[in-house]
Each structure stands twice: as structure tokens, then as C-alpha cells.
A and B are shown apart, each in its own frame.
Chain A
Amino acid sequence: DAMVIQNPRYQVTQFGKPVTLSCSQTLNHNVMYWYQQKSSQAPKLLFHYYDKDFNNEADTPDNFQSRRPNTSFCFLDIRSPGLGDAAMYLCATSREPLTKGNQPQHFGDGTRLSIL
């Protein structure tokens, strides 16, 4: 059974048109992460939520926002997508940050975002 679910698998949007990617989890994990993975590159952390606390990476563009209305759901909002934002977006969860008991991250299938 899927434990970290990302919808949709493929998303196409127009240049500059806001888009929202969705992630849900059935694991009741406290931490949810969003990674951006461009073609043939390593995933790069954008931000994460530890419970309700939002933590942004220093180099994440302001164009990227996130919401976590409850434990199960987390959204990635791209306010004005540019061509450079075309990528796979990965959602991951962990029960606690890795420093507490070495909790591994569980990944979703990802959403591949294309910009026209």
C-alpha cells in the first residue's frame, strides 16, 4: 500500500501560471519534505515541515511556497513557474528528523512538472 502519495504523477502548466502539487501520507509522520530533482541530477531539498513548523532552505526561491493544513497533507505551490522550474518534485516523510533515532525518509513517486 502506498504510504506517501503524490498527485498528480504528471503536471503540465503554462509559463507564469500558478500550480499546486499535492502530497499525502498515511504514516502519521511528523516531518514532511519537498525536494526538487532536475533531470539526471540529485534531489535538492526545498523546505520541510516539522509538525507545523516550516523550515525553508536558504537558497529556495521565493517563487516556491508550501502549506501543511494537517499532519497528512502537504502542498507545494509555485506562484509563477518559469521554464527552469521543470523538474520532478519529490515528497518525503519521516517520523522524526534523522537526528532523533535515525529515522529514514520515505519517498513518494514524485510529480513530474512540465512548463509550456
Chain B
Amino acid sequence: AQTVTQSQPEMSVQEAETVTLSCTYDTSESDYYLFWYKQPPSRQMILVIRQEAYKQQNATENRFSVNFQKAAKSFSLKISDSQLGDAAMYFCAYNSDSSNTGKLIFGQGTTLQVKP
């Protein structure tokens, strides 16, 4: 069974600085998808960025980028120029390409605090 691990329960960053959130996963599959979701307090979970395992190039979305290391099964999220609105819980998630359900397996989450 696949598992996703986020080893940092809490992180903090100064506004305008850069922070990296860690995620590792375990799978025996070669094709899969990885995601980072953001869940602000009392607000809906939204997709931040996604990565297809067959793509070697790291995904980037504006200030958000990932460092995808397939051999190491690592998928970290880098937030550049952090803003107060980035404060939220961040979940790393995995989806198996062989799954017919679209089931997401989430990590435990990392709460990010942004200090002004």
C-alpha cells in the first residue's frame, strides 16, 4: 500500500522569504501523480501544484515549485516570496495511475505560519 509522509508538523517563515515543505512517499508503482493542496483555516482545500511521475521536469506555478526526486521518492514544495495569505495547512497527496478511483492518499499535513 502506498503511504505519504510529511515529517514537519509545523513550519514558519518570515514574509517575503522562502520556505520548503518536505514530503516523502512509498510506492512500488512507476506511474503516479503527486499533489500539494493548501487548506486555510476554515476554508476549502485548493490545489496548489501537481506533478506527473513520468515527467522529469519539476512543476512550477508562480511562486510555488516542487523538487521531485523520483528515485528518492521525495516531493518537496518550495514557496518563494512568502505572503501572509500563504499561511495554511499544506497536504502532500499521492494518486496511483493504476487506480480507477482517483483516490488521493494524503500525508499528515504541515501547518505553515507566515510571520509579518
Q: B102 is contacted by which of A41, A98, A108 (Cβ under 8 Å)? A: A98
Residue in contact with B108 in the complex, picked from A31, A42, A57, CB distance below 8 Å: A42
Q: How many residues of A contact B (CB 8 A)?
A: 29
* Residues A109 and B44 in contact, CB atoms below 8 Å apart: yes
Interface centre among A42, A103, A106 (most CB of B within 10 A): A42
Q: A103–B109 contact, CB under 8 A?
A: no
Given contacts A31-B102, A98-B95, contact A105 B108 (CB under 8 A): no
Closest chain B residue to A47, Cβ basis: B101
B91-116, CB under 8 A of A: which get 1 and which 0?
10001011111111011110000000
Cross-interface CB contact of B91 among A42, A99, A110, cutoff 8 Å: A42
Residue-wise, chain A 64-90 has the 8 Å CB interface mask toward B (1 for contact) of 000000000000000000000000001
A104 at the interface (CB under 8 A from B): yes
Query: In the complex, are the beta carbons of B109 and A42 less than 8 A apart?
Result: yes
Chain B positions 20 through 55: 1 when the CB is less than 8 Å from some CB of chain A, otherwise 0: 000000000000010101000011111100101000
Question: Which secondary structure characterizes the binding site on chain A?
Answer: loop
Cβ of B45 and Cβ of A107 under 8 Å apart?
A: yes
In the bound complex, residues from chain A placing their C-beta under 8 Å from that of B109 are: 40-42
- CB <8 Å contact, B44 and A98: no
Q: In the complex the two chains form, what is the Cα distance from A96 to B101 in whole Å?
A: 9
Q: With A41-B108, A42-B91, A104-B50 given, is the CB distance from A97 to B45 under 8 Å?
A: no
Q: Do the beta carbons of B99 and A42 come within 8 Å of each other? A: no
- Inter-chain contact B102/A105, CB cutoff 8 Å: yes
Residues of B within 8 A of A (CB): 4, 33, 35, 37, 42-47, 50, 52, 91, 95, 97-104, 106-109
Additional A-B contacts beyond A99-B102, A102-B33 (5; CB < 8 A): A41-B109, A55-B101, A94-B102, A102-B50, A103-B102
